[in-house]
Structure formats: C-alpha cells, structure tokens
Amino acid sequence: MSAGPAGDVATSGSPVRAVVARAPGQPPRVERITLPPVGPGQVRVGIRAAGVCHSDLSMMNGTITPEYPLVLGHEAAGEVLEVAAGVNRVAPGDPVVLNWAPPCRRCWYCQRDEPWLCDRAGAASAPRGRTAAGEQLHVTLGLGALAEEVVVGEQAVVGVPAGLPYEVAALLGCAVLTGTGAVRRTAGVRDGESVAVIGLGGVGLSVVAAARAAGAAPVLAVDLAAAKADLAVAAGATDFLVADASLTRAIRARTDGRGVDHAIECVGRAGTIRAAWRATRRGGQVTVVGMGSADDTVGLSALEIFHSARTLRSSVYGSSDPDRDLPALARDLLAGDLDPAVLITDRTDLDGAAAAFARMARGEGARTVVLP
C-alpha cells in the first residue's frame, strides 16, 4: 500500500490507545501501542470517529486471515495532525476520511480506470508500530483506525469539507461508499427497477438508501432479524422481509411473479448469494457486496445459468474511486441529499468496541460509531 514501507516499524515513542485483536475467536482489548514516526509521504491523523464494520469482525473470527496482533478498524474520519516534508495532498488541521484501498494509479487496472481492482492496494494486514511489550503490530487494511491516532500514506486520506460531522464522515469511507457505489456504479440501478437487498448491516442499509434515491420500486429489505424492520423503513425500504424458507415466494409475490431486477447481497455467504440468485428475475442482475470466506462455495447448475440469463458479479468497494466519489458523497450529505446518520444505532468509546463487535456478531443494530 502507499501507507509506507512494509517493514517500517520504528517507533516514535508516543503511545496511543488502540483496539487490538490477538487471535481468531478472541474478543479484542484496548492496549497502548506505539506508532512509527511520520516518514516520507506519510501523515499522522487524529481519529475523531470510526465505524465498527463487519470486515473487522471477519478478521476477528477467522473468516479472513490477517496477521496478529492486529489493530482493528478501517472506516474512519479525523483531523490531520502532522505531515511529512513534501506532502501536498493535505495539511495539518484538515478534516479527512481514511481510504483503506488507495490505488497506485500505475498498474494495469488503474490505467483502465478500475482503481477499485488495483493489484497494489494492500492486504488484510500490514506491519506498523509496536505493542507495549515490543511486539511488531499489524494494522487492518493498512489503517488500524480503531485507535486514537494513525500514521498512513498521504494517498490513504481524502479531504472533506469542514463542518461535516466526523461520525457521519467516517461512514463515507466504507459503508456508504461501498453501498452507494454498488447501486450507482456496479449494478446501475435505474428509476422504476425493483431491488432486493439481503443483509441489513451498515452496507446493506446504505444500499437500501441508494436504491430508493435512484427511484427503485419496490425496494425489498431482507434480514434474519425482524428487529431491523424499522431501520430498513427509515433507510427507504418499501417492504421488509424476514429471511426464511418462504423468501423467494414472498419476493416473487411482490414482483408479479418474476423476481426483482436487482438482488444485492450484503452478507458474503453461499446461502444468501444463492437466495439472491433465486429472488432475481430471468435476465436480472445479482450483485455480491459481502466478502465471504475462501471455502464457502456457491453451487449453480449449468442449465440454470443458461436458462435464467442472470448476471452474477461482485462489487469491490462499490466499484468506486474514493478520490472522486468521497468528496461527491460529502457534498451530497451537506446538501441534504444523503443522510447516513440513520445507519448509526450505537455510539461508544474505545473501551466499548469489544461489546460493539459482540452486538454485531449477534446481528443487532447497524453501525456502532467509536469516538476515541
């Protein structure tokens, strides 16, 4: 990633508090860590708000396999505190949103205007800093944003207008950019098309809101938890459906027996991808936003692929270019055309992050925002 040399673990001697996972299946805990000094091309950011995202949970429970000990967090906003000489993208005092997949702008994908597929945009974890005991730390998606401060490459920060509330700006960096991009850029949902959204976490609710804003009707929100019905309606859903054995029939009953034009899956499991496939009309589009495990296999027969004429594709980071799309989303928010505050169901400090992950694992709420 552009966040600095992979082996740069020299420390600045200034400890900060951070949420650290030490092994799969174990709850994280708040520890004092020491970040490296700000090196060439890097900036130091004081985190003002960070979202608790399902991708972090996947790194805690072993769905994704990072290296440990690992500072969690990748969806965040904050204030630039320090920049290295030669950095001209931002200055101290600037409000910024963190970008967990800064493109290199040089590889084959970037040159084809597909920066979300950049093959140099980083991995699940990257070494940066030390624990209080001197252990080498890793950080989630090159950021480790569930912390008081981070040190990242200047390409990993995107400036946003002053006056944008940090707690909603944080959500722009993952949930809102991913969900809105899936609707606008990957699926290309058009006015009057029908949409089913499966999985109503922060990303799923962002998909619901973006689909409704695009003029989709009906917008069918689906989740295992019936308690999410009110959240779904607040985000813009026309109907809420519980994910059970009758789901396909329920969706077809609301679409003249055909199925939806677009099913957007925001869970990342074979079962829900298959449910999205069954819920989609012939010739419709299935978009997979959820990131699942490598050994969870989706089975489709050769005949149904041919007969259904459906398209199955994924949406990586909303098929978005954060440098272009984050400022545009911030302008939409300030203009009142976008309101991600509906996604925020809980607020806490760093010490409450472990409980927030436990709530997420139980399927409760949408986004918890951590305010360091």
Q: What is the mean pLDDT of residues 247-254?
A: 97
For residue 59, is pLDDT > 70?
A: yes
The greatest distance separating any two alpha carbons of the chain, rounded to the nearest whole angstrom, comes to 65
pLDDT, position 4: 39
Residue 365: pLDDT band by 50, 70, 90 thresholds? confident
The answer on pLDDT for 96 being more than 90 is: yes
Alpha helices in the chain (DSSP H): 54-61, 108-111, 166-171, 177-181, 202-213, 229-235, 247-253, 270-279, 302-308, 322-334, 353-361
Average pLDDT over residues 69-87: 96
> By three-state DSSP, how is residue 278 classified?
helix
- Contact between 359 and 198 under an 8 Å Cβ cutoff? The reply is no
Options 3.90.180.10, 2.60.40.1480, 3.50.50.60, 3.40.50.720; CATH of 174-317: 3.40.50.720
CA atoms of 134 and 168, how far apart (whole Å): 35
pLDDT of residue 9: 38
Q: What is the mean pLDDT of residues 298-307?
A: 95
* Average of per-residue pLDDT across 221-247: 96
What average pLDDT does range 6-19 have in this prediction?
63
Q: Report, as an integer, the average pLDDT of 119-124.
A: 82
Alpha-carbon Rg for the chain, nearest whole angstrom, is: 20
The two three-digit tokens of residue 153, written as one number: 């490459």
pLDDT category of residue 120 using cuts at 50, 70 and 90: confident
CATH architecture of 15-159+339-370: Alpha-Beta Complex (3.90)
Q: Indicate where the chain has its CATH 3.90.180.10 domain(s).
A: 15-159+339-370
Pairing of strands 367-370, 344-348: parallel
For 363, the token pair is 């399927």
Distance of CA 337 to the CA centre of its chain: 20
**Ranges in the chain annotated CATH 3.40.50.720:** 174-317
pLDDT of res. 5: 35
In this prediction, residues 39-48 reach a mean pLDDT of 96
DSSP string, 60-119: HHTSS---SSEE---EEEEEEEEE-TT--S--TT-EEEE-SS---S-SHHHHTT-GGG-T
